[in-house]
Structure 1
Amino acid sequence: MMTRPASVTLALLALTCSLLALTPARAGEADVVSVSHARASDGTYRFDVTVRHADDGWEHYADKWQVTGADGAVLGERVLLHPHDTEQPFTRSQSGIVIPPGTARVTVRAHDRLHGWGGKEVIVELSD
């Protein structure tokens, strides 16, 4: 069995690291940065959700956010119809979200087309 000299191994390692450094970073999961909410006179809620994601064209962009209850039930959703490559972070709103009576908190999460769910979520405390 033939072994490689240490200098060759180090050179290969340096080359690999250099190539990795030149590889463009891929966009990760979509993160919810902040959430504001307001209760309407009809008892529904409006959520203004700020999302950060390194959108990278139509194949990899933040494509929706959701408001979910403690049991994971989707209470509201805003579908995002296009990438926001040059607008980061961005805020979008959704009105008319019905929150069941007695719900003290909800979770807001964002989704991207490549990774799905998994970025930073925000828990929102609701007040009566």
Structure 2
Amino acid sequence: MYRAALLSLLLFLPAFALADPPEIVGATAKKSGMGWRISVTLKHPDTGWDHYADGWELQDMAGNVLGFRKLAHPHGHNEPFTRSLSSVMIPDGTRKVKIRARCNTGDWSEFHKLKLR
């Protein structure tokens, strides 16, 4: 029984080692009324419900979270894909924000910086 468990673990380790975080391939910010509409384009090798991009987060340059966009399902072969978050309140005077994306295994992407205009 111990051997079977060890063999199972060794067979699945390569899949976890290849579990890359999502990649942010583009982002835009557009002033909309009192807030901002932030759109983020992600690329991720979704494999289904066991490993998929499940959200992205917007922060100011000091690391304060300004918004989070939850992604509720795998996107499979529809990649890259873009999802938006509306009515984001960004403090006056803020000229840059940063975005990072997450997959459901907990891996976060590198930060993507975005200038506000």
Work out whether the TM-score is over 0.5: yes
Q: Is the 8 A contact 2:20 2:107 kept in 1?
A: no
- Specify the structure having the higher radius of gyration (Cα): 1
Confirm whether residue 38 of structure 1 aligns to residue 30 of structure 2: yes
Secondary structure, counterpart of 1:123 in structure 2: strand
Distance across 2 between alignment mates of 1:114 and 1:78: 17
Secondary structure, counterpart of 1:85 in structure 2: coil
Deviation by residue 1:21-46 (Cα, 9 ceiling, x = unmatched): xx77834111111001100122x000
Corresponding residue for 1:102? 93
Q: Is the 8 A contact 1:63 1:82 kept in 2?
A: yes
- Structure 1 residue 101: Cα displacement: 1.1
Q: 1:10-49, aligned counterparts within 5 Å?
A: 26-42=18-34, 44-49=35-40
Q: 5+ residue gaps in structure 2?
A: 1-13
| Aligned residues: CA RMSD | 1.6
Q: Which has the higher strand share?
A: 2
Distance across 1 between alignment mates of 2:68 and 2:82: 14
Distance across 2 between alignment mates of 1:48 and 1:90: 10
Q: Is the 8 A contact 1:107 1:122 kept in 2?
A: yes
TM-score after normalising by structure 1? 0.74
Corresponding residue for 2:11? none
Distance across 1 between alignment mates of 2:87 and 2:93: 17
Confirm whether residue 123 of structure 1 aligns to residue 117 of structure 2: no
Corresponding residue for 2:5? none
Distance across 1 between alignment mates of 2:25 and 2:110: 8
Structure 2 counterpart of 1:123, one-letter code: K
